[in-house]
Structure 1
Amino acid sequence: MSRARSMVSPPILLVIITVILVRAQRATSETTTTEFIFQGFKGNQSQFQLEGDSTIKSNGLLRLTDRKSNLAGTAFYNKPVRLLDNNSTVRSFSTCFVFVIMPSSANNRGFGFTFALSPTPNRRDAGASQYLRLLNERNDGDPRNHVFAVEFDTVQGFKDETNRIGNHMGLNFNSLSSEVQEPVAYYNKDGKKEEFQLVSGEPIQVFLDYEGPTNTLNLTVYPTRLGSKPRVPLISKQVPKLIEIVQEEMFVGFTAATGRDQSSAHYVMGWSFSSGGPVAAATLNLSELPPPPPPNREKKRGYNVKIIALIVALSAVISIMFLLFVIFMIYKRRLQQEEILEDWEIDHPHRLRYRDLYAATDGFKENRVIGTGGFGTVYKGKLASSDLIAVKKIVPNSRQGVREFMAEIESLGRVRHRNLVNLQGWCKHRSDLLLIYDYIPNGSLDSLLYSVPRRSSAVLPWDARLEIAKGIASGLLYLHEEWEQMVVHRDVKPSNVLIESNMNPRLGDFGLARLYERGSMSETTGLVGTIGYMAPELARNGKPSDAFAFGVLLLERKPTDSGTFFLVDWVMDLHARGEILSAVDPRLGSDYDGREARVALAVGLLCCHQKPASRPSMRGVLKFLNGEEEVVEIDDEWGYSKSSRSDFGSNFVGYVSSSTSIPSSSSAFDTRIISTSHVTSGGYRKKCLFQYELDASYLFIHELRTSAYSTLN
């Protein structure tokens, strides 16, 4: 019996001893603490690992960097500190230190320093300047860094978009971008925040306390001249993210750097630290700390009195000459940019300064050009307010350009609608005439439909095409019926419709627009518009029709060079045979609503009706397109006379300019006409009527198939 016990007892005893040893080891590790205090650092070189420019001065100051450029230094306590318990929680720790930052000069300071927790005291791969000898460009933000730092930043910050405050403190996790930052300040006895400068040359004390059980970090900073620690910390925040940073053992210390053009000397006067226990870091006795470094004073050198007098005299003469030169250049520049206002300019607001537009477009450089037109070039610009604009510069010495300029200011300058281009303002500088619009990134509908190559390889969905048509109709309805005066655009076409990023259309280019009082629309005195988009009766009675142009646009075809194909007749023939859907863009396949397509094509035909009285208003068009009313039946007298289907001819009299917003591959029929000739009776009237009827039919059919065919091709 006793023998059996002797055989069993040793294993049991071994297990018991093992358990005791493990528990003792855990208890030892859990109670491991680190505490130290340095009332100055004289004679303590062996307790630090110094790298770079860091050194301990003979008077006991720990200098991280000198005032010279492009320096970096680190100073870490040479023994690792246990900061992670066995239950994977960050231990409480506390530190207190006093530092001084001495600028190179009153206007030269930077870049600051950090108190850091690092897995290694060797930060040799870290960069200077904004990287503060803590990280570098390659590893900034890398979670494998395991670096936590309290940043004392004296310049604009690591990244302007994140650290906009120059004199600030921040909490950084694996990055030089501060997740938490505050301007350097303390709370006085009345609870008010008092800001002060880090780069002041006076001693500044810092208290940093981290409570492990609550993950709370408290940070207090204040000038030592206050005497006592403020009751309210500057930063008090839970930082659970610290568990992702801290490893079982970490090194604690300081890093600092200067830059090429910005530099300061960074000193630590005293430092205490405590971790692993409830006791906070020991308070430093300020009277026992080494004195701060003296202010930066340049050595005085003796110079000969005559040399000094000569230098002063030459400096005065050069200064006067330079001042006179500056005054002359300013005066010359103002003369060049002087703008004399005429009477009509005073009556139209929203006038912008030429110098602002010149700066916004980089001097109207070619790389800013985003389009050209018959009477000007359009530039992309950016104002000082960061607003993007489009600036249309009218061709100098263009009589018709001046008319367009005035027309746009008069009409578009006061209207506001979500489907009309917003004219921000205008400018006249000598012979330069400029119109300023909102910048619309998607360009024109014309470029989405007909450009070669197209702006997008995808085919515009039917829903988007229909919404674009409704938007244009809504803008025209506002101009015709809802604004204080009636505005007739007179040049509705795809190249004058701009598309926003959300595919909302905006009708622009009001250079040919006319304003009328309600019920007093008069005849025009010439042929104005773009061939193919002008109503046939314009040559007979001089009355323009935006409805006709909208119908052509709705059919979405550009003219071809063939003289045997008549778009309107072709679509009307399909409609008569009940096959109007054959005119739908074949690239859509079956991915469109047949009922909506029938309505859209029928509305396009109605808008191009030979009889102006039979064309619907824009309000009626919207009701048709929205399904609120059925499209009226097209009567038998709709079609054009077959006798008009002869060659187009080239007998227009007046100013003709190719619409340069249309690609070179488009037909020459899409040509803008501005004729100053009066429309008279006789052969000329018949000739113009013949030409416009032919062109309307011709473009009409060609535009129709693109209504379902080309809106984003």
Structure 2
Amino acid sequence: MHFMLIFLLSVGLAVADGNQTANITFNGFQSANLSLDGVAVFTSNGLLKLTNGTTQEKGHAFYPNPITFKNNSSSSSNGTASSFSTTFVFGIISQYSTLSGHGIVFVLSPTRGLPGSLPSQWLGLFNDTSNGNSSNHVVGVELDTILDREFNDINNNHVGIDINSLHSTVSAPASYFVNNSTDYRNLSLISGKPMQVWIDYNGDEKRMNVTLAPINIDRPKIPLLSLSVDISPIVKETMYVGFSSSTGSLDTSHYVLGWSFAMNGPAQELSVSQLPKLPRIGPKHVSKFLTIGLPVIVVATVSVVASGLLYVVRRKRKFSEELEDWESDYGPHRFRYKDLYIATKGFTDKQLLGTGGFGRVYRGILPTSKIEIAVKKVSHESRQGMREFVAEIVSIGRLRHRNLVPLLGYCRRKGELLLVYDYMPNGSLDKFIYDQPKCTLSWSQRFRVIKGVASCLFYLHEEWEQVVIHRDIKASNVLLDADFNGRVGDFGLARLYDHGTDPQTTHVVGTLGYLAPEHTRTGKATRSTDVFAFGAFLLEVVCGRRPIDLKASPEDMILVDMVFSHWSRGELIQVVDPKLDGDYDPDQVELVLKLGLLCSNAEPEDRPTMRQSLQYLEGVLPLPDLSSLSLSSGGLAFANRERSVSHEGFSDLAISYPSSLDKGFSHSSSAAESIIHVGR
């Protein structure tokens, strides 16, 4: 009887279709009947763990039976959605105190689980094609810990109501109102502390309210979000209720401690005292061994103490690093040198991914989180400007886009700067298109990579809070993830400036063959110079050739000249990479080649923007007729400028030259050759 009483208190369920009520209560999930998929699991102490600390994963947990949301007398398309109420307690634990990997969503879905959904910024709800579709019939309340500009997120710590899309209909910073007043207090979703959410939909008033508060606070009288919305056209007659969560590049775990749901009435209050505890954050209790052994250590001989001190001094010297007061602002963006040393097994040659003109790249696994990383060791030629440079590196670390290689942070030590990136298992794009690759990318894969790079550059140029100029777009700086999606990496040369301002003149840096003519004259890197490099990138991906091939015949040495020559003779399709063996879409190939020529125009004002380039590739805008633009070899003005490089003092500029090992951040590959110059 005692066991049965506890079970009834912790898990309650009643369904009566006649009056359309459903009551679900889980005070912990020790004996829960939920449908799990992805990485979601129940822990031994009764937590619902939606993600298990692994990166780039998703987890779903749904009540296994569908619940009636519309009157049986009404059709699913025209019926009125009934009222519902739910409350749950959650916790998000990240390896860092100020960074996390995405969030949790309470979901109403027509299916159990969300087939085709993706992790990372998609929160396990949608993908790039389903997001925003009215056919989704999904209503969600997101607790999001990442700022995604592509979804117009307000910040990296917000609550939002989602209707068929991750573009929240309404959202607000995570907070709660105090004592029925307009005074509110902020909350950190990634604090590692349990918090409670209440979601109420009134079917008569057509209004949804969302309230958030710490677990030890009574429910606030004023909701955090209140949206006038009729969900009748969105929900179907029966729906599934549950949770979705996902991780990105950081080790994060998402938990639900308890959950209650009801139709046509208030959800049952959760019993806080019965809820399981979240895992501890921080160091574990001191073991008995240390407690007992401490007196032994105190009375140890002087020789042992002296030896220990000498070992500590040597170890500190081995792992010493520079740390100045201003770096305290950057918190988790700074990695400990000791952790990077252990991760890369002492920066041994076995872990070396490649070597370039400005440094080496090593593969590593962080000792605590087990995240795979790529560590780039570079030198900064001047201490002057280091603070500004690190500030830019940390700012770039806040970029979030599905086609970016995340820059996780940095470390400084003895004149060296170490940049820590997410590891890309398939390495750089160039090793799949040049020479004799083990695996040749198909045309559909190449076209997807091209559109991904275009989308990323559009985000950098126009969608982020500042303008980011990459300054080194090329195939070796485009890395491929496990699914062969293209991700732009190596932001060591990137420049940031505010929207509406002009970029400053700097030393010319970049890679020969991708440098815009005006960049070499003025020293200014602009969005248009990135477009020029993007044009060279388009041609090399389609043709399977580098922009400058010194081994080729004089007429074919400059790739853009060769492509233009074939276009002017009406033989454009003949420049396509022979390794594709004719298996490609001729219309797409022609589109990309012509766009590459447009982007390679010598006059910056005649080049398209990245917004336009992406619209051309997506078929939103028709590509202009090159003949009508009077495009000419002189207009491209590529060969003459590049061939005369030695006569224009080009060799005196800070230009990075292609390395024979320029293969990106992965196994059997190397770093992009250029990273930092004193001119920054």
After TM superposition, the score normalised by the length of structure 1 is 0.46
After TM superposition, the score normalised by the length of structure 2 is 0.48
Higher-Rg member (1/2):
1
